[in-house]
Structure 1
Amino acid sequence: MKLVTLVSSMILAASMTVSDNVIEEPDDRTSGNLLTVTAEEEARLESLLFHNPDVKPIAIDAIKVMELEEELTFNFNTQDYLPENFNPLKGKHDLDWSKIELIELDEDLTFNFNVKDYLPKHFNPYACVKTKTVCSK
């Protein structure tokens, strides 16, 4: 019985000391905008969120993507804005690709720098072709 009384009095004393410690919040009018975050605070928060070394990386396969199917409702009649007898599928299969001539346009590449400045000395792009060896560097 003494033990129960002792424990309950300790809990009562601890709760009283906790309730006496009131944390005063700063006044909005005197401290300015409370939502203002300095660049240092923002950098610290970003490093805590995104650069935490204790967090293991998540595999892309582990992420499950859920696609929500939402029904589109228009507040107007779409047929009012389409031509009469409009058929969006008309002519879909009428194309004869054997009669259509595809033209590939050659584009001239112009560099605003000298490419030789970025290549190794004595670089020959055709060296492997002449010697029939495999270039793997």
Structure 2
Amino acid sequence: MRTPADRVRHLLLFEVSALAILVPIGTIFFGFDPLNIGSLGITTATIAAVWNYLYNWGFDHALKRLTGSVHKRMRVRVLHAVLFELGLVVMLVPLIAWWLDMTLWEALVADIAIVVFYVVFAFVYNIIYDRVFPIPEGTKGEKTSLGS
């Protein structure tokens, strides 16, 4: 299992990296005011950071209970990323619609593009994070190889 401090590092690096990519894209390609889109980005990143911590904590506990290990095979990583993003869609679409004065439909369509980015970003980020900051060896008998 990851420590609480490691989970905080994980989510802070994740959110800062994603914002560094998305705020300039929103400004340059979609013409949003940088302060408005930046403020929305910080607000949604804060919501996402809290969700990230709680979701990953719960997912790892459920995975360990079900499989005896927190190590994820490729299909579990895909499921992990998709379920995470679905939770965010439910939370963020109404906020985006209100903040940017859009209809819920327009906000959903805009959010789909963001979700596609985040699914790919989360998938790649988590693989890199696990290699840079590997989970310490577990207790005797716990599966620890990435293929398990």
Q: Shorter-chain TM-score: what band?
A: under 0.3
Please, what TM-score do these two structures have when normalized by structure 1?
0.21
- Structure richer in helix, relative to its length: 2
**Which is higher, the Rg of structure 1 or of structure 2?**
1
